Amino acid sequence: MALSGLEIYKQLPKTNCKDCGFPTCLAFAMKMATKQVSLDACPHVTDEGKAALESASRPPIQLVTIGTDEHEIKIGNETQLFRHEEKFHRPTAIAVTVSDTLDEAAIAERAETIGKLVMERVGTQVSVDLVAVDNQSGDPARFASAAKLAAEKSGLPCVLMSATAANLKKAAEAVSGQKPLLYISDPAEAEDAARVAKDEGCPLAVRADGLEALAELTPKITSAGVEEIVLDPGTRGLKPTLEALTTIRRLSLKNFRPLGYPTIAFTAEEDPTMQAVEASTYVAKYAGIVVTDAAEPWQLLPVLATRQDIYTDPQKPVAVEPKLYEVGEVSADSPVLVTTNFSLSYYSVEGEVEASRVPAYILSVDTEGTSVLTAWASDKFNAETISQALKKSEIEGKLSHKKLLLPGFVAVLSAGVEDESGWSVLIGPKEASGLPSYLKNQWKAV
């Protein structure tokens, strides 16, 4: 949490010695509050003052790292309750379960499937992050061998889930050096699990029944030397979990230290569609990790799409390069579709053109990454910008016609574009989903 200048000033020597290059301690404190100078510049601050400032400036939600090297996942360190106030920083990690009650071949097959859950959305790859190995057997040897196999076959960092600290130790040793997240489901075993986490250098997820119990538990975990903690409030089901996740986020942002950690949530729905709905809800509302049995791409794509949307910086729309794109084997007779350079708009159009199997040009106009209607409303998608983009693309020399297709929502621009560019304007469907039918049936007719 950012400290104010006065809060910093209280911890300084207040001698105004000027050794830091500032005329007074207060001036130094004010600069430090805006992060223009670091505490190191004051050689006289006491160890006590330093410790107090470091502790107070710790982020309200602890940063937790799971895995190593290129598979490293970081969660926590969030600073906002609402995305539009700044942005959310650390995307929710999605973990898919593997039970250690499965036989070896089934564990290997499921882990491999989980590792390959990589999908493309708006030009970006989205994927599952973690494999969650569940010690449903209760057997330590079985758990350890399932952990090793799942890590190897999925290529992902693990969440190791057990009710027993001793079993967690066995499994953690089996994937030693890979920094799995240890999850202890029995609160009575949490302190023993903390000792395992400390020995193995792993973060620890703890469960307690309710937030009060959780707030009492976390100081015991930190006393055992584990700082990287993940919280499970013990709720299952959409409503209570959503309430608990929201309360934890609110309290942590108020600097309530015992709950200042990222959270883990579990889908409990049995209906496959509802599993996706439940997981997406937890992504939208504050879960650091969502653990789910859902392993079908159709279930996970909406979850990953929600994550991509929520964790996109709202101040910086995701844009594609504004230029002329060719989809398929274009020819002089191919249609020309005009859209903006907002990623979602562009890729929606591109996906539908591909689906239509009608080769086409897509002219992406520079609207600073805003969508068709937003760009039209802010006058970035108008007759002039469309005409300029057409000219710059030099498409005219590639075609036997001078017809372009405008999105149906901005039909109002057609006369202006015709006047400004000299091209004939056709009005396409309002939604990109209408393009395949339009291109196959109507385009040929004009």
Give me the residues that bind ligand SF4 (CB under 6 A), please. 12-13, 15-20, 22, 25, 28, 42, 44
Name the minimum Å distance from CB 2 to ligand SF4: 19
Q: What are phi and psi of 131, to 5 degrees?
A: -110, 125
State how far the Cα of 414 lies from the Cα of 311, in Å rounded to an integer. Answer: 36
Name the minimum Å distance from CB 8 to ligand SF4: 9
Name the minimum Å distance from CB 9 to ligand SF4: 9
Contact 194, 221 (CB under 8 A): yes
* Between 25 and 395, CB nearer to ligand SF4: 25
Name the minimum Å distance from CB 58 to ligand SF4: 21
Name the minimum Å distance from CB 1 to ligand SF4: 21
**How far, rounded to the nearest angstrom, does the alpha carbon of residue 314 sit from its chain's CA centroid?**
13
CA dihedral 175, 176, 179, 184 (to 10 degrees): 70
Q: What are phi and psi of 406, to 5 degrees?
A: -95, 150
Which residues contact residue 44 at a Cβ distance below 8 angstroms, ignoring those fewer than 6 apart?
A: 13, 15, 17, 19
* Between 28 and 342, CB nearer to ligand SF4: 28
Q: What are phi and psi of 278, to 5 degrees?
A: -65, -45
State how far the Cα of 206 lies from the Cα of 329, in Å rounded to an integer. Answer: 56
Which residues contact residue 17 at a Cβ distance below 8 angstroms, ignoring those fewer than 6 apart?
A: 44
* Between 26 and 383, CB nearer to ligand SF4: 26
Closest residue by Cα to residue 342 from 308, 316, 307, 377: 316
* Between 19 and 384, CB nearer to ligand SF4: 19
Name the minimum Å distance from CB 24 to ligand SF4: 6
Name the minimum Å distance from CB 57 to ligand SF4: 16
* Between 18 and 254, CB nearer to ligand SF4: 18
* Between 20 and 432, CB nearer to ligand SF4: 20
* Between 38 and 315, CB nearer to ligand SF4: 38
* Between 11 and 280, CB nearer to ligand SF4: 11
State how far the Cα of 364 lies from the Cα of 369, in Å rounded to an integer. Answer: 10
Max Cα-Cα span within the chain: 85
**How far, rounded to the nearest angstrom, does the alpha carbon of residue 366 sit from its chain's CA centroid?**
26
Q: Which residues pair with residue 158 across a beta bridge?
A: 131
Contact 365, 341 (CB under 8 A): yes
Name the minimum Å distance from CB 55 to ligand SF4: 19
